[in-house]
C-alpha cells in the first residue's frame, strides 16, 4: 500500500470515528460540575433555612411553655396575699386548698405542722381557701381577719382544733383570747373585708378542677384527699433528692 493510500485510509478512519457526546467534552464536564455546585449550594441554603425555622419554632415553643408554666404556677399558688409558712425560696412548694369545716383537712393539721417545722428551710406551705360547708366562709373570713393582726396561723390551728364545738358567735372572743383587738377583728368579720380574696381562691380552685378538700399541689403535682404522714414525708424526701 502506497503512502497516498495509507493517508487516505487514516483520513477515512478519522472521519468515521464516533464523536464525543456533550458530557464527555470539556465544556460539558465543566457544566456538570457547575450545576452540581449550584445544587450543593441550594441544598445547603435549604438546610440552613430549615434549621433556622426549626430553631425559631423551638424558641417559640419554649417561650410558650415557660409562659404556660408561669401562668399555672400563679394559678396554683395564688397572690402574695395568701398566707404561707416556711421559706420564701423553697425547693418544694406545697399548696393546700382547704376548708376549716372539713374533717379530712383537720386530720392533715398535725402533718402540715410537722413538715413546716422539719423542712422549714426547704419547703413553703401555702394555705388557700376552698369553703364547702355551711360555716366555712365565716371561718375563712375569721382566719383572714386574724391575719390582719398577724395571727393567721394561730387562728388557723385553733379553728381546726375547735372544729367540732366552735360556734360562730364565739369567734370574736376567741380572737380576743389570742391577744387580738376584738373590736377591730369583729368589724373586719362583719364587713367581710377579705371576701374578695377568698373568692379568688375559689375561682382558681374551680379552674384547677378541685372537687373536694383537702387538695394538694406539691411542686404543682395535684394530689386529692388526705395524705398519710409517712407517704407525705416520702414525697418530700424524694423531691429533695432530685
Q: Would you list the domain boundaries of the chain? A: 1-41, 75-241
* Confidence at 65, pLDDT banded by 50, 70, 90: very low
C-alpha grid cell, residue 177: 383570747
Mean pLDDT, the chain, whole residue set: 86
Nearest to 131 by CA among 198, 177, 64: 198
Q: Cα–Cα distance between 160 and 207 in angstroms, integer?
A: 26
Mean of pLDDT values over 212-221: 94
* Residue pair 228/114 in contact by the 8 Å Cβ criterion: no
* Confidence at 54, pLDDT banded by 50, 70, 90: low
* Residue pair 123/92 in contact by the 8 Å Cβ criterion: yes
Q: Cα–Cα distance between 93 and 71 in angstroms, integer?
A: 15
C-alpha grid cell, residue 18: 464516533
Domain 75-241 class in CATH: alpha beta
Q: What is the pLDDT of residue 62?
A: 35
Q: What is the pLDDT of residue 10?
A: 56
Q: Cα–Cα distance between 53 and 147 in angstroms, integer?
A: 52
Q: What is the pLDDT of residue 30?
A: 75
Q: Which of 13-17, 100-104, 121-125 has the lowest mean pLDDT?
A: 13-17
Between 34 and 26, where is the model more confident?
34
Q: Which of 37-46, 178-187, 204-213 has the lowest mean pLDDT?
A: 37-46
* Confidence at 151, pLDDT banded by 50, 70, 90: very high
| % of the chain surpassing 70 pLDDT | 81
Amino acid at each position: 500500500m502506497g503512502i497516498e493510500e495509507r493517508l487516505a485510509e487514516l483520513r477515512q478512519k478519522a472521519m468515521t470515528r464516533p464523536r464525543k457526546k456533550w458530557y464527555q467534552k470539556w465544556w460539558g464536564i465543566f457544566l456538570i460540575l457547575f450545576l452540581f455546585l449550584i445544587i450543593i449550594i441550594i441544598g445547603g441554603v435549604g438546610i440552613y433555612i430549615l434549621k433556622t425555622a426549626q430553631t425559631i419554632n423551638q424558641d417559640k415553643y419554649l417561650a410558650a411553655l415557660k409562659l404556660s408554666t408561669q401562668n399555672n404556677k400563679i394559678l396554683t399558688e395564688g397572690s402574695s396575699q395568701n398566707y404561707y409558712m416556711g421559706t420564701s425560696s423553697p425547693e418544694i412548694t406545697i399548696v393546700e386548698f382547704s376548708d376549716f369545716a372539713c374533717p379530712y383537712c383537720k386530720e392533715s393539721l398535725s402533718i402540715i405542722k410537722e413538715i413546716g417545722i422539719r423542712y422549714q428551710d426547704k419547703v413553703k406551705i401555702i394555705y388557700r381557701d376552698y369553703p364547702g360547708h355551711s360555716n366555712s366562709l365565716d371561718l375563712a373570713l375569721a382566719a383572714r381577719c386574724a391575719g390582719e393582726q398577724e395571727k393567721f396561723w394561730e387562728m388557723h390551728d385553733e379553728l381546726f382544733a375547735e372544729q367540732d364545738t366552735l360556734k360562730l358567735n364565739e369567734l370574736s372572743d376567741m380572737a380576743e383570747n389570742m391577744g387580738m383587738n376584738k373590736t377591730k377583728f369583729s368589724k373586719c368579720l362583719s364587713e367581710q373585708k377579705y371576701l374578695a380574696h377568698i373568692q379568688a381562691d375559689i375561682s382558681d380552685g374551680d379552674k384547677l378542677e378541685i372537687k373536694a378538700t383537702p387538695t394538694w399541689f406539691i411542686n404543682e403535682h395535684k394530689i386529692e384527699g388526705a395524705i398519710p404522714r409517712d407517704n407525705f414525708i416520702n414525697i418530700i424526701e424524694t423531691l429533695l433528692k432530685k
